[in-house]
Amino acid sequence: MTKQANLEQVTAQIKRACEESNRQQEDVTLVAVTKTIDTAGITELYNLGIRHFGENRADVFLEKTIELADKEDICWHYIGSLQTRKVKDVLPKIDYLHSLDRSSLAKEIEKRATKPVKCFLQVNISGEESKHGFSKEEALSFLQEADFNFIEIVGLMTMAPITNSDIELHHVFHELKQLQQEIHALQLKNIPCTELSMGMTNDYGIAITEGATFIRVGRALVNDDNMEV
């Protein structure tokens, strides 16, 4: 399938999921995960109208931003675990960080930032040891004690377990939605927490029905069966 056909298929599923959950399609932002394609492939998606792109490796991301510098309306999302030593290089180039997964990273961002940084706090809802992020309890404690000057916690992010159980996926995404609402209600400084980054190629439809506002889709768009996302 062509990238145009892939995009039409993904867009149709987003529309269906929104209709099922009585949501507006424009309330869901599609982030194209482009970690396995080069700038020519990104340009192809750009020409189809996509403006939000997600990368997960700092060096590759920085190279791509240089090569695509002429496309000034691209909105860059950093979705991978970010090494502390890479913060100073990556920070000026990103519009959103989806992987604020530890307090040491928050400290480094606060140290290096010169303007507000939109971040999603990464929460390990499923409790899997292989996944990064705060537990629900750690997330609440961390945010209640925080005093951010540059970080803006726009919402929460999670990665669902790899499973064939729709019930389990609904449960994970529903838990993140509940936590997001709980944090939002606290009205903490620089922590509006109104957004939810959840849902990838295998589960973004379910994520949307549970309240996702940003979905991170790779394989379904670039038609690469080797992609993990």
Tens-place pLDDT, residues 109-149: 999 999 999 999 999 998 888 788 999 999 999 999 999 99
Per the structure, the count of domains in the chain is: 1
Structural domain for 92, as ranges: 3-222
- The answer to whether residue 29 is domain-embedded is yes
- The answer to whether residue 14 is domain-embedded is yes
- The answer to whether residue 229 is domain-embedded is no
- The answer to whether residue 50 is domain-embedded is yes
- The answer to whether residue 33 is domain-embedded is yes
Cα 138 to Cα 141: distance, rounded to the nearest angstrom: 5
pLDDT range class, residue 229, cuts 50, 70, 90: very low
Residue 133: CA atoms inside 13 Å, Cβ hemisphere, count? 26
141: helix, coil or strand?
A: helix
- DSSP character for 82? P
Query: Which of the pair, 131 or 82, is modelled with greater confidence?
Result: 82
pLDDT digits 0-9 by tens, 138-193: 999 999 999 999 999 999 999 999 999 999 999 999 999 999 999 999 999 999 99
CATH of the domain at 63: 3.20.20.10
- The answer to whether residue 24 is domain-embedded is yes
Percent above pLDDT 70 for the chain: 97
pTM: 0.95
> How confident is the model at residue 227, as a pLDDT?
43
- The answer to whether residue 227 is domain-embedded is no
For the chain, the average pLDDT equals 95
- The answer to whether residue 85 is domain-embedded is yes
Count the Cβ atoms, other than its own, within 10 Å of residue 149: 9
Roughly how many angstroms between the first and final C-alpha of the chain, as a whole number?
Answer: 18
Percent above pLDDT 90 for the chain: 93
